[in-house]
Amino acid sequence: MAACGGNTDGQDSILEPLCFPEQTADGTIAPSLQRPSSDLLVCLFCPESVPLQQKDSLLKHLLLEHKLVIADVKLIADLPKYMLYWRGRFLEQPVTDFCSVIKTNSTGPVEKQQDYFLLCDVLPEDRILRERLQQKRLEEVLEQQQKERDDNSFHRLCMFCSDEFTGNRSSLLNHMAREHSFSIGLPDNIVYCNQFLDALQNKLDNLQCLYCEKTFRDKTTLKDHMRKKAHRRINASNREYDRFYVINYLELGKSWEEVQSEDDRELVEDDDDDWSDWQAHPVSAVCLFCDHQSETMDQIYTHLKEFHSFDLHKLRTDLNLRFYQQVKLVNFIRRQIHQSRCYGCQEKFDSRDDVLHHIAAEGHAMQLPDISTWNQPQYYFPTYENDALLCTLSDSDEDESADTDHGEDVPVIAEDISNLRALKQTSVLNQLLKNRNSSS
């Protein structure tokens, strides 16, 4: 997701939720399916403009200068046209006619409250605009694909041998699949084929494995590695390749994985399916302060206590935090650390390492600001959208009930034994014994 770094004036400059890198990822970011273009992006309210490649700077400008956030920017098929459309509409009518208003610091003093505006596809007009841009983009992609299918001027060398191919692109793709066990998919599923092959060739020229994307010292070592490890395939988790597959353009805001999963759900369920061999992928949680990841929550909580002197369970108990208060606290701390600011004393630093050193040296790990600082509506929204730590927060005290003896808290009412003889005669046990003796 799009995000900007901290800024010098101390304002919050995160535009959309951040995203932790997956454990197996190489750190590459997911590219947009927007058309590569040199078009300028224009501000919706003022003359400010930037090239499309610098869209994050304009999004930051919109947030800081005009208090406006555009939701799901990466899903907009043609961002320059989208911006021009809304610029015209905002000249005709006030922004409040179109955008949701979010008030920050809603429980604080009026002078500290600010209104932010959210432009998203909940608004029917915005949804229709996004769909039209998506449809136009799809038409262009299908037209491009048809041109490539009909093009007989294709000329290229195989990436793995010296064979030369002319005519239709399918001859090269089929050759690599058949002779080198390297397949990037059926030719009819691929668009911008030359750009795709250029990207793959560039990796090989840079001595980089196409699958694990590790770099090697020479071509011989790289070829041996790809052959022995069976790495003659592309890395499916590399989002750079999404724009080369037609399926990614078919539905608004959906990748091929989502489209495919929807198709799977439409299959008839079989009650006899055996799920005994199914294994879930472990959820990896990330430390609040550093890049440490653990596959169990116990490990991450232990790491927080041992390495950062931070005890989330103790804070929950001491402050009697409910579930959503814990959510807001975690998102608040994440936001402050991301912006290199100590959440305890609000001092700003140049880097995350500096603020972590400060927190450890000053013992600020368990020092929280007043609850009104972080118990705000904006912290309902995750700072990192795949923050597994949020999924483990306790919403009740049931998890502690097994380890806690509540017997002392429950009043025990003594039985009245002042008339013991009468009690024996009228007891249920005595009646059961009488009935048993009489039946026998």
| pLDDT tens, position by position, 293-347 | 887 778 888 889 999 999 988 888 888 888 888 888 998 999 999 889 999 999 9
Kindly state the percentage of the chain with pLDDT values over 70: 73
Of 31-35, 190-194, 420-424, least confident by mean pLDDT is 31-35
Highest-confidence segment of 343-357, 381-395, 399-413, 418-432: 343-357
Helix/strand/coil for 267: coil
pLDDT number for residue 342: 93
DSSP for 345-379, written as a single string = T--B-SSHHHHHHHHHHHT-TT----HHHH-SGGG
User: Per-residue pLDDT averaged across 166-191, rounded?
Assistant: 86
Q: How far is CA 246 from CA 80, 138, 143, 191, in A?
A: 22, 8, 11, 6
Neighbours of 28 (CB within 10 A): 13
Q: pTM above the 0.75 mark?
A: no
* Placement of tokens 């380890």 in the chain: 403
Taking each continuous run of H as one helix and of E as one strand, the counts in the chain are 15, 9
**Confidence band, pLDDT 50/70/90 cuts, at residue 387:** confident
Q: How far is CA 321 from CA 25, 108, 156, 317, 413, in A?
A: 35, 20, 64, 7, 33
414, pLDDT greater than 50: no
38, pLDDT greater than 60: no
* Beta-sheet pairing, 114-119 with 68-70: parallel
Distance of CA 116 to the CA centre of its chain: 23
Work out the mean pLDDT of the chain and round it to a whole number: 78
**Confidence band, pLDDT 50/70/90 cuts, at residue 70:** very high
**Confidence band, pLDDT 50/70/90 cuts, at residue 149:** confident
pLDDT number for residue 46: 92
358, pLDDT greater than 90: yes
**Confidence band, pLDDT 50/70/90 cuts, at residue 129:** very high
User: Could you tell me which residue, 430 or 63, shows the higher pLDDT?
Assistant: 63
**Confidence band, pLDDT 50/70/90 cuts, at residue 83:** very high
